[in-house]
Amino acid sequence: MAALARVLMPQPFPRTEFAGDAGHRRPLLRWCHLADRQNLDDPPTGACRDDICPRKAEVVEHDPKLAAYYRGISKHLDLLSLPAPGDRFTLVQVVGEGTYGEVYAARDKLTDRLVAVKIMENIADNVEEMEEEHRVLRDLCVHPNIPTYFGIFFQPAACREDDQVWFVMELCTGGSVTDLVQGLRKANTTLPERTIAYILRETMDALRFLHTHHCMHRDVKGHNILLTETGSVKLVDFGVSSHLDETMGKRNTSVGTPYWMAPEVSTPGPRVSKRGF
């Protein structure tokens, strides 16, 4: 138990890989094909770059009423200052669904790399979730267990209700942990305990980093833990995450996926701190 506890203990960031990491990644590389994912070439790597995430975006032209509408619904995100994706991205296939939108594998023509594009609609209804996801990815994507963030785009349509916000980030072609477990189950096998410990340790390290920055994920589940083809583990989907004003801050609301909730989160009682994840 002591050895397993050491494996699961979150490490400081930045950190160096421990000697066993390569051993845990090799079986993950063999098993990734069981997640029923199409081979989409190598996923992107590296930090956020200025040529990928423009700081001075071209303003999307709108009539004054529409401009006033969008400036009125978002307190923290100036939607009309965001660049339009135009024909820069070629959507290849749907690879998953986030809390508030579908996720596509796409080709970025500017860099000729494969990326993940999360497309969110119903902007007025989901603007708070969009703001939170953008804030987390923009500020915290430097952590190795959080996907690299390449930018946010505004896709106008003929009808305001059809306008979209696109989040572009690192593509994790290994699928989710849920996909992996289901694929292994069909093959009549299971994950070794130490591989499970490796996935948990990486996930816990991401959570520790979020909590250090006063951020609660609030929807940790197998579908939101993704794998890359190099065996890295990434925590995704920050649409229902929440920032706290202080280290021991709490939230009164209960959100997330019921089957994956801790009992103290889903049952009435005292408020839950960030330790409720």
Residues noted as catalytic: 219
**β-strands 89-97, 233-235 pairing:** unpaired
Tokens (6 digits) for 273 = 């701190």
CA dist 120 and 102 (Å) reads 7
Long-range contacts from 260-269, C-beta under 8 angstroms, 24+ separation: 260/219, 260/220, 260/221, 260/222
Please, what's the largest Cα pairwise distance for the chain? 64
Helices and strands in the chain, H and E counts: 7, 11
Tally of CB atoms within 10 A around 135: 16
